[in-house]
Structure 1
Amino acid sequence: MTDLEQKSIQIDYLGHHAQFIPIIAKWHQDEWQHISPDLSTQLRIKMYSSYKNTASIPCCLIALTDDEPAGSASLVLSDMDSHTHLGPWLASVFVHKDFRCHGIASQLVAKCILNANQAGIKTLYLFTPDKTAFYKKLGWKLIEHTLYHGENVDIMSYDLTG
């Protein structure tokens, strides 16, 4: 058993751990700057600082291990400017490389789905360039292949009514 497997993972609202907002914003900027060229780290900090700490949308959840950030995921009303007719969205699911392959992303997604369900959402959407198989294992359905900001992505949906 690795050290990480012995540690507990806590999922909580990022706003309850505001000291980590700059870290999460930097991780997201480094990972997705090419898809969101209009967002800077500073704009991401401002955006995440405005999110409520409830099951409402938008919100951002953080995964913590020993009070250290390990990953995050968000629920947002809109995540693709080309698909504004769809929403709300699971967005920015990210686990730092030091914490991957320990089920953290699955826990974050499950908690986001629970929050969406509590908020009365019937369908969630996401887009991914490379994690389609992961999301299919979690029950997401592929609905479209498309080109978004120069990158091939899959759009997926999750039915919360069934």
Structure 2
Amino acid sequence: MKFVLLADNDSAIPQIAKWYSDEWGYIGEGRSTKELELKLRDYLNHDKPPLIILALDNNKLMAAAQLRYHEMDIYPERVHWLGGVYVASEYRGKGIARALVSAIIDKAKKLGINSINLQTEDFTGGLYTPLGWQPVEQVTYHGIKVQVMEKSL
């Protein structure tokens, strides 16, 4: 498995947009595959957020995760966010999400970022609690109950 930036493999945009639309399209407007393809073009960065790291195996796309700005507008003071962590169904349960989150953290550190936030619908913190993420609070955001978490880097 290797990690690459979306900026170096933009041919992955249609697949990522489909994953995100299929997984989170119910959340609201702007989540169709075509709309997401356009939005993902903003993530074609190397040295600043927003960016996406991809997990590949023999050049086959397995997973993606985002480092982005101000995901939740109710927290203007929380600048950097982990989001869009998605592993293709055939690769789940193999530690890929954990490795991908670690790759995002490593990239954030290189960019001088001191903390990252996330939101999850899993109130236990899921895979994030064992990785050192701390709960901040549970809120309802855009009609969905989520656990907000933070990790100091």
TM more than 0.5 = yes
Aligned to 2:91: 99
Deviation at 1:18, TM superposition (A): 1.4
Q: Which of 124, 132, 146 is residue 139 of structure 2 equivalent to? A: 146
Aligned to 1:6: none
Which segment is superposed worse, 83-92 or 101-110?
Answer: 83-92
Deviation at 1:121, TM superposition (A): 0.8
Aligned to 2:8: 16
Deviation at 1:97, TM superposition (A): 0.8
Deviation at 1:80, TM superposition (A): 1.6
Deviation at 1:34, TM superposition (A): 2.2
Q: Which amino acid aligns with 1:44?
A: L
Instruction: Provide the C-alpha distance between the structure 2 equivalents of 1:91 and 1:68, rounded to a whole number of angstroms.
Output: 21
Unaligned runs of 5+ in 1: 1-8
Aligned to 2:129: 136
Instruction: Provide the C-alpha distance between the structure 2 equivalents of 1:70 and 1:43, rounded to a whole number of angstroms.
Output: 22
Q: Which amino acid aligns with 2:24?
A: W
**Which deviations, in whole Å up to 9, do the C-alpha atoms of 1:58-89 show, x marking residues without a partner?**
10111111211111000111212332331210
Alignment TM-score, normalising by the size of structure 2:
0.92
Is it true that 1:66 corresponds to 2:58 in the alignment?
yes
Unaligned runs of 5+ in 2: none
Aligned to 2:73: 81
Aligned to 2:107: 115
Instruction: Provide the C-alpha distance between the structure 2 equivalents of 1:17 and 1:100, rounded to a whole number of angstroms.
Output: 22
Is residue 55–residue 116 contact of structure 1 (8 Å, CA) maintained in 2? no
Q: How many residues align?
A: 152
Is residue 79–residue 89 contact of structure 1 (8 Å, CA) maintained in 2? yes
Q: Which amino acid aligns with 1:24?
A: I
Seq. identity, %: 33
Instruction: Provide the C-alpha distance between the structure 1 equivalents of 2:100 and 2:28, rounded to a whole number of angstroms.
Output: 22
